[in-house]
Amino acid sequence: MIEKGKVDLRLESSPRLSLGLDTSSQQISGNIEMEKDLQIPNKKEMAEMFKELEKTIKQEMVNIRNDLGHLLVRVEETEEKVKNQTQAISELEKEIINIGKVQEKLLYKAEIQENRDRRRNIRIRGVPENPKGEILQEVVCKILNSIMDGTDMERTKIEGIFRKGKLQGNLGKERPRDILVNFYELQDKEKIWRKIKGKSVIKYEGKDIQIYADLSPETLWRRRTLRPLLERLKEQNVQYRWGIPECLIGWKNGGTAYLRFQEDLKNFCDRLKLQRMEIPGWEEEHWEIRTKRIEDW
């Protein structure tokens, strides 16, 4: 027989038996923990749990209120900034409109001054160009002498004569360039002007030529743009003329109206008892756009 003490030593020294004992103890311990987890909490534990949950929720609500408060402040600041920016934009828009009006009046004054500088000039249109060369002084003096009924127009009264515009490739088919004549004295130009008043066409060597006042590109643009209005004035038997400074003057039944800028159109029509109308192209206010339309005029 094996003694009791020796049996215990064998059991303790056997690896297989030792592994089995360890595994069994782990399973028992795990089962105990699971039983503890599956145990339904009692009333006191439930109260503590709800108390802790309530505390957590209250703290989160406080944090949310603080965040909403900061957000509200930021929203109010943003709204104030937007309000200030909107007001600033409105002021800038008004300032831009005022600057545009000032600019338009400055351009108008520059137009008046330019036309004054051109008062001693005339434009002769329709005189054929000679591809082999031409002496414009002789051509112009011949034209002017014919207008003055044989009175000699001395070359010394003319300061300068030249063709105006771009030279075209085919002189036979393209319209000849205008001849610009600049007199030393305004009275000499006025003598020519009085002779041709009321004549739309003048004969020169069998060709029809025309003589115009030399006006600034801005004035020419305005007169072209206002053609629809001139047609309306003719239909309504309204008398009109171009005035200086550069404006359209109309009168009917004792009433007189002046048109210089787009803003004057409403009052112009009302004073002459005309139906209000829109002028195509009148809103194109840029100097470059206006002058581009009439370059090479």
pLDDT of residue 231: 93
- Over pLDDT 90: what percentage of the chain? 31
Tokens of 271: 């004073």
Cα–Cα dist 193/157, whole Å: 15
Comparison of pLDDT for 179 and 169, the residue scoring more? 179
Token pair, residue 163, equals 């063709």
Domain CATH number, residue 147: 3.30.70.1820
Residue 181: inside a domain: yes
| Residue 247: inside a domain | yes
In angstroms, rounded to a whole number, what is the distance separating the alpha carbons of residues 157 and 152?
A: 11
**List of residues 6+ apart from 20 with CB closer than 8 A:** none
**Predicted pLDDT of residue 292:** 56
- Give the strand order in the sheet containing 178-183: 158-164, 178-183, 121-125, 207-213, 202-204
Closest CA to 279 of 222, 241, 215, 220: 222
Q: What Cα–Cα distance (Å) separates residue 238 from each residue in 180, 232, 241?
A: 33, 8, 10
**Which pLDDT value is given to residue 23?**
54
Domain membership of residue 35 (yes or no) is: no
State the residue range of the domain holding 169.
119-214
Percent of the chain clearing pLDDT 70 (strictly above): 77
Residues 6 or more apart in contact with residue 174 via CB below 8 angstroms: 168
- Using one digit for the tens of pLDDT, what is the confidence trace for 127-137? 988 877 888 88
Say which residue, 281 or 261, is predicted with more confidence.
261
Identify the CATH number of the domain in which residue 263 sits: 3.30.250.20
Q: Where is the domain boundary, 98, 116, 134?
A: 116
| Domains contained in the chain, number | 3
Q: How far apart are CA 117 and CA 74, in angstroms?
A: 63
Mean pLDDT for 54-59 is: 89
Assess whether 123 and 207 both reside in one domain.
yes
111-124 average pLDDT score: 92
Least confident of 10-19, 164-173, 181-190, 195-204: 10-19
Is the domain of 159 the same as that of 227? no
For residue 173, the model assigns a pLDDT of 58
CA–CA dist 253, 251 (Å, integer): 7
pTM attached to this predicted model = 0.62
What number is the average pLDDT over the span 176-201? 89
Domain boundary among 214, 247, 281: 214
Looking at the structure, do residues 223 and 185 belong to the same domain, yes or no? no
Average pLDDT rounded to a whole number, residues 290-297: 49
Q: Is 2 within the bounds of a domain?
A: no
Any idea which residue has 């029809």 for tokens? 208
Burial category of 195 from C-beta neighbours within 10 Å (exposed 0-12, middle 13-18, buried 19 and up): middle
**Domain final position from 214, 231, 255:** 214
**pLDDT, tens digit, 9 for 90 and up, residues 191-250:** 888 888 878 788 888 888 999 999 988 888 888 889 999 999 999 999 999 987 678 999
Strand partners, 164: 178
Per-residue model confidence (pLDDT) at position 262: 85
Q: Are residues 143 and 192 in the same domain?
A: yes
- How many other C-beta atoms are found inside a 10 Å radius of the C-beta of residue 220? 16
Do 222 and 289 lie in one domain? The reply is yes
108 with 187, same domain: the answer is no
Decide which of 64 and 1 is more confident: 64
Rounded Cα–Cα distance for residues 246 and 107 (Å): 12
Q: pLDDT-derived band of residue 284, with 50, 70 and 90 as boundaries?
A: low
- 274 lies in a domain? yes
Residue 180 lies in a domain: yes
Average confidence (pLDDT) over 60-88: 91
Q: What is the 3-state secondary structure (H, E, C) of 148-209?
A: CCCCCCCHHHEEEEEEECCCCCCCCCCCCCEEEEEECCHHHHHHHHHHHCCCCCEEECCEEE
For residue 214, the tally of other CB atoms under 10 A from its CB is 18
Residue indicated by tokens 């595994």 = 23
What distance lies between CA 252 and its chain's CA centroid?
38
Residue 169 clears pLDDT 70, i.e. is over it? no
Of the CA atoms within 13 Å of residue 75, those in its CB half-sphere come to 6
Tell whether 47 and 108 lie within a shared domain: yes
For the chain, the average pLDDT equals 80
Q: What is the mean pLDDT of residues 147-163?
A: 80
Residue 232 within a domain: yes
Do 107 and 128 fall within a single domain? Answer: no
Decide if 32 is inside a domain: no
Show the CA angle centred on residue 35, arms to residues 31 and 36, nearest 5°: 120
